[in-house]
Amino acid sequence: MKLDILVFASHPDDAELSCSGTIISQIDKGNKVGIVDLTRGELGTRGNSELRAKEAEEAAMLMQLSVRENLRFADGFFESDKAHLIEIIKVIRKYQPEIVLANAIGDRHPDHGQGSSLITRACFLSGLAKIETELYGQSQTEWRPKQVYHYIQDRYIKPDFVIDITPYWGKKVEVIKTFKSQFFDADSKEPITYISSPDFIPFQEARAMEMGHSIGVKYGEGFTKEKQLGVKDLFDLF
């Protein structure tokens, strides 16, 4: 299956928190979007990998993703080495996305920056014909996405552009809340964490409003670019 947009996330819920409004809006426009989670989030204080897999699947159904996979890299310990790069290259060549969305270039959780760097390298290497890969016993052809953008996560990073997600904010909140094990639940007996505090979801809304305010809308999601962007018409900008 060829995808228009492939989203990589170091952990299940990274994409939901950071760019699910954009994902939902692109699917609403008829584009095919998939998510590939690098790890199962097994080091998370709350829940476990099996529960997070179920939550990720529920989120995928709610967003109407075309595909969701998990590469099962070691949470907290995956490296930017050949073995990990090859696995990501296989996925890029499998889905042949025009656009890739990846983790923030640097963030509170070191896996986010690590994942960001890994995806950037893999997207370039995937376009080199002399790197040979196979999937299901079949040789793959080289493929390089046209653009790689990085979503913004916990730490503030000045965006290079902002997507208006105002019509999709309510759906984004629904998607985030599918990860019940990770966020605030008054009845939960699990330890309180940074992201499970009652203030975390309001922080997410404040961030979205800050991004939206910068472009004159209510809610937005910010991204950074890897190369210069261009437009053919001034009226493409607002």
CB 222, CB 152: distance < 8 Å:
yes
What three-state secondary structure class fits 100?
Answer: strand
Residue 11's pLDDT is 97
Give the DSSP H or E segment for 99: strand 99-102
Please, which residues have CB within 8 angstroms of residue 123's CB and are 6 or more apart in sequence?
A: 92, 100, 144, 145, 148
Residue 131's pLDDT is 98
Please, which contacts does 180-185 make with residues 24 or more away whose CB atoms are closer than 8 Å?
180/55, 181/44, 181/46, 181/47, 181/48, 181/51, 181/52, 181/55, 182/13, 182/44, 182/46, 182/47, 182/52, 182/55
Per the confidence metrics, is the pTM higher than 0.85? yes
Residue 238's pLDDT is 83
Q: Which domains does the chain have, with CATH numbers?
A: 5-236 (3.40.50.10320)
- The crossing angle, in degrees rounded to 10, of helices 14-28 and 169-176 is 140
Give pLDDT tens digits along the chain (238 positions).
899 999 999 999 999 999 999 999 999 999 999 999 999 999 999 989 999 999 999 999 999 999 999 999 999 999 999 999 999 999 999 999 999 999 999 999 999 999 999 999 999 999 999 999 999 999 999 999 999 999 999 999 999 999 999 999 999 999 999 999 998 888 888 888 988 899 999 999 999 999 999 999 999 999 999 999 999 999 988 8
Identity at 126, one-letter amino acid code: S
Cα 197 from chain centroid (whole Å): 22
